[in-house]
């Protein structure tokens, strides 16, 4: 019984360290070969994730598949280890992968440069850019 308790403790303590080895990547893939609209893009994207992730994706507290890109490119953002990225590169349909980069603003004057006024016009009508994802 003590052995099982010790094993359980070691597993619980190693779980956070496994999570800390994860980085966010943007993964570009080809469109699915079958162009049927019944094909769910998220299922297609999950097929690129290692089986251990795809099978437990609904049971995890923090989802590994962060965002699905549908319009400009086919792909997704996911939290992966470097080893999982190497494994994914071997799969058919894989195009490219980029690690997440945080970029800082080079200017804070863009609204005035573009002629956007605080309480009138396009800036207000577009909800001040709220919810817009660039990238």
22-41 pLDDT, tens digit each = 999 999 999 887 665 445 78
Within a domain: residue 16? no
What residues contact 82, with CB distance under 8 A and at least 6 apart? 21, 23
What's the domain range around 55? Answer: 21-103
Angle at 112 between CA 109 and CA 115, to 5 degrees: 150
pTM for the complete prediction?
0.59
Structural domain count of the chain: 1
Within a domain: residue 59? yes
CATH number at residue 80: 3.30.70.80
pLDDT at 20 exceeding the cut of 70: no
Within a domain: residue 63? yes
81-125 pLDDT, tens digit each = 999 999 999 999 999 999 999 888 777 777 777 777 777 777 778
Beta bridge partners of 27: 76, 97
Task: With beta carbons less than 8 A apart as the criterion, state whether 26 and 72 touch.
Answer: no
Nearest in space to 52 (alpha carbons), one of 25, 27, 32, 80:
80
């Amino acid at each position: 019984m003590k052995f099982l308790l010790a094993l359980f403790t070691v597993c619980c303590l190693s779980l956070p360290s496994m999570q800390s080895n994860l980085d966010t990547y943007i993964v570009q893939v080809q469109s699915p070969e079958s162009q049927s609209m019944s094909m769910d893009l998220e299922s297609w994207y999950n097929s690129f994730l290692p089986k251990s992730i795809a099978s437990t994706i609904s049971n995890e507290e923090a989802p590994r598949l962060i965002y699905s890109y549908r319009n400009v490119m086919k792909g997704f953002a996911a939290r992966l280890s470097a080893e999982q990225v190497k494994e994914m590169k071997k799969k058919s349909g894989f195009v490219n992968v980029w690690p997440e980069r945080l970029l800082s603003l080079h200017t804070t004057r863009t609204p005035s440069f573009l002629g956007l006024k605080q309480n009138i016009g396009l800036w207000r009508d577009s909800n001040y850019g709220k919810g817009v994802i660039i990238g």
